[in-house]
Amino acid sequence: MKHKLILTGLIISAALTIPGALFAQEPVKTVDETILKELYVQYLKDPANEFILRRIEDERASIRDIIEEELQKIVTPPPEEAEIDPSEITKALDRQKGVIAALQDRSRERKVDLDLLVAEEKRFYLQPQTATGTVSEADKFRITKSHEGLLAKKVILEERISVLDVFLFQQDARLNKLEYEQRLLQFGILITIGKYLLILLAIWFIERTIRLHVLIRIKQSDRRYSVTKTFSSIIYIVTFSVLIGTIFAKNPGVLASLAIVGAGLAIALQDIVKDIVGWIVIFQNRLYSTGDRITIGGSTGEVIDIHVLRTMLLEVGIPPAGVLEHTGKVLSIPNAAILTQPITNHSTTSDFVNAEMRITVTFESNWKKAKQILEEVVNKETSQNSEREKSQQIRRTRMMYIVRQAIGPRVYTDIAADGIEFLLRFSVPLGAKWPVITALSEKIMERFDAEEDVELAYKTVRYYKKGEEK
């Protein structure tokens, strides 16, 4: 038994290394032409004899079976290739290509031999002057010596060509199957990665749904913040731990291949990789979204689009070089900038910002009346903004630990060098600071003009002579 296994291994090894050598020598002939020759002797005497014709067809079928058996032994893959292992599919492909090439060579050779026999039959057996088949000195290199022998050889060649065509069709189908399986194996890593990415996406969707629709109902902000952060951390830690363990257990070669590919991409396309990582960080951490006013490094603007590689901003001029208005320029900032540059999102808690106005009245003015007027005006003009700001802050800071909320418009009092100074602090929509300040200034001056004991202060200089009563 041991010797048989060794002999089988040597045969398979030789077939895999030099598949063409498998067909270099003809297999041992088992087809006997004797019966065919005898049948064709009778056929040439009586071509219409149905019995002889049936016997010829039976003999052809027997010859076909013998040829099929001979070729089947050659093309049948070794037992170890019956169930293809991923590591052996390349060898199986090489052997299969060798088998097909050898079958094609043999088919071409048989067709050439058949053409020679057909030509010889026309020249020596079908022409009247040579119908006797007498061999002359010039024709001593003929293949056959008799017509019945030529017909027998011709039948055998026809059957061999027919069987070879059938086997070529089958072997081509097997080659296509092997190539398909090779492609599946080549894309197996990508399919595996895609499967794991879909799992991660599903887990992320479930975690986000629970976080935004269940945990958000916790009323205490500090408790809500702690529970949300703990829940998200546990989900992602457990997910990645299970995922990495599964990859190591089922696909030990995936991580190594992925590490090699990732290392090459990180070196060749490091800027693009950084931009993609930045894009993922933007959405994962919700740093900003379209419509937000942000500052990245030294650039400020409103986000109009977020691409995979770049963020588009509609620039806003910043004092003292400009005013808080759109300049009309569009800034294209690489997403990698968020990894190294400070980011300010002016719209995180609301779409409003605090603005201030300083108004000073003279010491001789009725400062209490002035303060009352200022409070009435600022509350009337900006109270709607304050309510909207409070509503937005409550809605947008549910997932944040923020204790201080918007407190509405306020008027603060201070003593200045030229009189009593009032500081008005109120909320204005982003980009609408100066229209609101303009409206407030006009209302305040109209109210002050209607009062006799309230005057706006301005810088003055007073001189007193020595000895005069101050």
pLDDT tens sequence across 153-191: 888 888 889 988 998 898 888 888 888 887 877 777 678
**Is residue 285 predicted with pLDDT exceeding 80?**
yes
pLDDT digits (tens, 9 = 90+) for 342-362: 888 887 778 888 888 999 998
pLDDT digits (tens, 9 = 90+) for 289-310: 888 888 888 888 889 888 888 9
Element (H, E) at 221: helix 221-250
Instruction: Measure Cα distances from 204 to 198, 284, 306, 312 in Å.
Output: 10, 10, 21, 27
CATH of the domain at 440: 3.30.70.100
Q: Whole domain around residue 385: which residue ranges?
A: 352-449
Q: Which pLDDT score, from 0 to 100, does residue 469 have?
A: 63
pLDDT digits (tens, 9 = 90+) for 209-226: 998 888 888 888 778 878
C-beta neighbour count of 67 within 10 angstroms: 21
- Contact (CB, 8 A) for 164 and 110: yes
> Does 165 lie in the same domain as 73?
yes
Under the banding of pLDDT at 50, 70 and 90, the label for residue 80 is low
- Contact (CB, 8 A) for 341 and 296: yes
Range 131-139 average pLDDT: 52
Give residue 437's region: left, alpha or beta (phi > 0; psi -120 to 50): alpha
Q: How many domains does the chain have?
A: 4
Percent of the chain's residues with pLDDT above 90: 12
> Does 264 lie in the same domain as 133?
no
Tell me the whole-structure pTM to 2 decimals.
0.45
> Does 167 lie in the same domain as 200?
no
Strand, coil or helix: 314: strand
C-beta neighbour count of 160 within 10 angstroms: 23
Q: Which pLDDT score, from 0 to 100, does residue 344 have?
A: 87
> Does 445 lie in the same domain as 368?
yes
Evaluate whether residue 280 is within a structural domain: no
* Strand 343-345 with 326-334, pairing: unpaired
Element (H, E) at 149: helix 147-186
Token output for 223: 């408790």
> Does 137 lie in the same domain as 78?
yes
Evaluate whether residue 278 is within a structural domain: no
